[in-house]
């Protein structure tokens, strides 16, 4: 069997496995399918952050701000909140504002991309720790802004958040409701699974094409040596802004999907811890390597939920003296430390040109 047939067989087996995965998980309860749905959203976020961190080499700790922008745009345009707050809107739209998600998606992506460019513009000369601090501050500003934008006019409903957000419909099929296909019961979370999976596949294709394009190679040149890249005629300013904008666009799209999936958004969903976790996904999987980023996102998104079933028995063994949530966070931290000590370049790092596979994995005996 030649390499081409092996690849086709691998793609076919993977497609079948991904198609039956939610139904297997659904047999154990819808909560497991919801965990997979959330993990797919994190994959999309990690792919976007990998553009600015993995390709361009710019550390962004405020990435969750773009996630929040997309989520709140959909929440405002697809919920009764503005209808109830502003009488003028109620007069114009007696039935309330219910903009479909597909119309909000490009708006959320464009607005998040604009915010990304606005963040990148004042940070063009910053690198490393200084860039991380500025982006961290930007993310916190957005979160605090959303939490306080209820006075003097209640726009975001403050820390209480926005609820009653419309669910997603695709070709007239409401994904927020269970359906029956060929006699098989399909839960709402399973409907979202297939849609999120399709968007993740599209995101992977986009990132793959970007990586091998002239723009992607220019980003990597900037990452390796910005001065040398500038000397070769690369417009580092515009390319950095493009990296911030493209990365933020992924965040905005993910935010729109998150809002319609959850049906509720609040500032607590976009804390600094979320930004740090998304950065950890990229680093843990393998910076700049798409398969590694996907693996890191799936692992770190699903691990906290899976460890709930480990922390509870351990809490019971100690007679309740240990808090289950704290114990779960401890187990996650220990797992991350163990992985990074054993795989310092990530679980699935990008292969280095001119080096053997063992050297690319950080196992070169000559360096030990």
Domain layout of the chain by residue ranges: 28-288
Cα–Cα–Cα angle for 251, 255, 260, rounded to 5 degrees: 155
How far, in Å, CA of 269 to CA of 261, rounded? 13
pLDDT for residue 95: 62
CATH topology of domain 28-288: ABC transporter involved in vitamin B12 uptake, BtuC (1.10.3470)
Write out the two tokens for 16: 């079948």
Residues 184-218 have pLDDT tens digits of 778 889 999 999 999 999 999 999 999 999 999 99
pLDDT for residue 364: 46
What are the φ and ψ backbone dihedral angles of 156, each rounded to 5 degrees? Answer: -105, 0
- C-alpha closest to that of 265 among 278, 281, 254: 254
DSSP per-residue codes, 99-110: --HHHHHHHHHH
Name, of 163-167, 224-228, 253-257, 274-278, the range with top average pLDDT.
Answer: 253-257
With pLDDT > 70 as the criterion, what percentage of the chain qualifies? Answer: 93
**DSSP bridge partners of 180:** 185
Yes or no: say if 225 and 36 are a contact pair by the CB < 8 Å rule.
no
Q: Is 83 exposed, middle or buried (0-12, 13-18, 19+ CB in 10 A)?
A: middle
Q: What angle, rounded to 10 degrees, do the helices at 3-27 and 30-50 form?
A: 140
Q: Which helix (H) or strand (E) holds 143?
A: helix 128-148
Residues 315-362 have pLDDT tens digits of 777 777 777 778 778 888 888 888 888 988 888 888 775 454 444 444
Q: What is the pTM of this model?
A: 0.89
Query: What is the chain's Cα-based Rg?
Result: 22
Yes or no: say if 304 and 332 are a contact pair by the CB < 8 Å rule.
yes
Write out the two tokens for 227: 């001065």
Yes or no: say if 300 and 323 are a contact pair by the CB < 8 Å rule.
no
Residues 76-95 have pLDDT tens digits of 999 888 877 777 766 666 66
How far, in Å, CA of 210 to CA of 43, rounded? 17
User: Considering only 8-12, 25-29, 60-64, 310-314, which range has the smallest mean pLDDT?
Assistant: 310-314
pLDDT for residue 361: 47
Residue owning tokens 């493209």: 246
**Which segments within the chain are labelled E, that is strand?**
169-170, 173-174, 179-181, 184-186
Write out the two tokens for 127: 């690198």
């Amino acid at each position: 069997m030649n390499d081409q047939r092996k690849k086709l067989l691998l793609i076919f087996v993977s497609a079948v496995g991904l198609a039956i995965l939610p139904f297997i998980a659904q047999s154990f309860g819808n909560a497991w399918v919801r965990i997979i749905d959330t993990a797919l959203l994190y994959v999309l976020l990690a792919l976007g952050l990998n553009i600015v961190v993995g390709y361009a080499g710019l550390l962004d700790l405020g990435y969750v701000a773009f996630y929040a922008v997309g989520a709140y745009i959909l929440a405002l345009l697809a919920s009764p909140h503005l209808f109830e707050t502003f009488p003028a809107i109620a007069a114009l739209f007696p039935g309330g504002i219910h903009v479909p998600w597909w119309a909000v998606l490009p708006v959320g992506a464009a607005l998040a991309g604009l915010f990304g460019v606005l963040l990148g513009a004042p940070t063009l000369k910053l690198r490393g720790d200084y860039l991380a601090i500025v982006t961290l501050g930007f993310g916190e500003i957005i979160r605090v802004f959303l939490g306080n934008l209820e006075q003097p006019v209640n726009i975001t409903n403050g820390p209480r958040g926005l609820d009653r957000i419309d669910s997603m419909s695709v070709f007239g099929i409401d994904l927020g409701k269970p359906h029956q296909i060929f006699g098989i019961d399909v839960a709402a979370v399973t409907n979202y699974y297939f849609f999120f999976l399709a968007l993740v596949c599209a995101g992977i294709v986009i990132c793959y094409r970007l990586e091998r394009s002239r723009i992607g190679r220019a980003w990597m040149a900037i990452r390796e040596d910005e001065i040398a890249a500038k000397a070769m005629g690369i417009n580092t300013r515009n390319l950095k802004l493009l990296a911030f904008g493209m990365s933020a666009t992924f965040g905005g799209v993910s935010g729109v999907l998150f809002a319609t999936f959850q049906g509720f958004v609040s500032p607590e969903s976009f804390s600094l811890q979320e930004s740090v976790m998304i950065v950890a996904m990229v680093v843990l999987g393998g910076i700049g390597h798409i398969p590694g980023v996907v693996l890191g996102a799936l692992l770190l998104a699903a691990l906290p939920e899976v460890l709930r079933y480990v922390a509870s028995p351990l809490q019971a063994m100690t007679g309740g003296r240990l808090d289950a949530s704290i114990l779960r966070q401890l187990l996650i931290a220990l797992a991350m430390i163990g992985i990074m000590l054993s795989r310092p370049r990530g679980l699935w790092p990008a292969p280095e040109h001119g080096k053997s596979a063992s050297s690319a994995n950080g196992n070169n005996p000559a360096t030990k």
